[in-house]
Structure 1
Amino acid sequence: MGMLGGMLAGAQPASAALGGAPMTTPSGASVNTTSGPSVASAVARQAVQTNASSSSSSTSTAYTVRETTLANGTAVREYLTSAGTVFAVAWSGPQMPDLSALLGTYFPQYVAGVQASRANGVRGPGAVENSALVVHSGGHMGAFSGQAWLPQALPAGFSTSDIQ
């Protein structure tokens, strides 16, 4: 687990969990909450639906994006269902967030997936993709980013391209 462990060693703590409640705001962090989809995303989605000549009625995706900017400058965006459950997270910034806290009970599955990839000679960013969990994580000192989501928990009509 060398590289993965090293990536987590300097991680900023945050207590949230994929599949659970949103993070508790850490000391020195700021929070901004918006309803999704954004106006631009809604307009783009409407245009796609119109161009596809779909006869189905347009439905809006009910979710909220909660962005927490940690004291170290890293932004963590949590995507919440209308019931308040985190179905996706994204991060970007100068330091990795604590993935064990962000992924919660899914963290061991992520570690096992990365270790299996490394054992098969795959190098590069940590990526796990299966029916229960998708995680893309990468970057370098000063510029880390990633996304994680639960495919089975995505709200109807939600596009994973909205996870940014």
Structure 2
Amino acid sequence: MKLIVRIALSSLLAAAALPAVAALGGDAASVQSDGASLKSAVRVTASAGYAVHEMASPAGIVVREFVGTDGRVFAVSWHGIGNPDLRQVLGSYYARYEQGSALALHSSHRQLVISLADFRFENAGRQRGGFAGRAWVPAMLPATFSTDDLK
């Protein structure tokens, strides 16, 4: 029981410390102002056909948003001491996450994989070892992008 309370509290605190981010499938126009208002620097790295917007929370959670030339977020990844607020990161795809998690393939109690035609989600972690995850919309992936780039 104590372990469950610790995990829930740690996840809540980590999520609360994460800066606002543009949601999967959403417009990335607000990322810079969100980062500035929350005193979190946004680092942007350009690649062929997309850009990576990276923000780190004071609590140590790093979120990367992969933004296409149309300005929409087609993928996200994260790592750190906990998971980010998945409602915020997944946006309208959070409903697909909820649907898929009921049917998901759990290879262990520390890993969750959801593979739907229009949404892919992978998350793994240990409370003491950290968490890492990624999600993407297959139909939105640029031709120059590989899911191996989701680090």
Query: TM-score per shorter chain, which class?
Result: 0.7 to 0.9
Q: Map of 1:1-164 to 2, 5 A cutoff?
A: 6=8, 9-10=12-13, 11-12=15-16, 13=18, 14-22=20-28, 23=31, 24-25=34-35, 27-36=38-47, 61-117=48-104, 123-142=109-128, 143-164=130-151
TM-score with structure 2 setting the length = 0.78
Structure 1: segments with no counterpart, 5+ residues = 37-60
Question: How many residues are aligned here?
Answer: 136
What is the aligned-residue RMSD (CA, Å)?
2.5
Q: Which is higher, the Rg of structure 1 or of structure 2?
A: 1
Q: Distance in 2 between matches of 1:140 and 1:109?
A: 24
Greater RCO (CA < 8 Å, at least 6 residues apart): 1
Name the % identity: 33
Give 1:123 deviation, angstroms.
4.0
Q: Distance in 2 between matches of 1:79 and 1:135?
A: 15
TM-score with structure 1 setting the length = 0.73
Q: Would the alpha carbon gap of residues 29 and 74 (structure 1) be closer, same or farther in structure 2, given more than 3 Å must change?
A: same
Structure 2: segments with no counterpart, 5+ residues = none
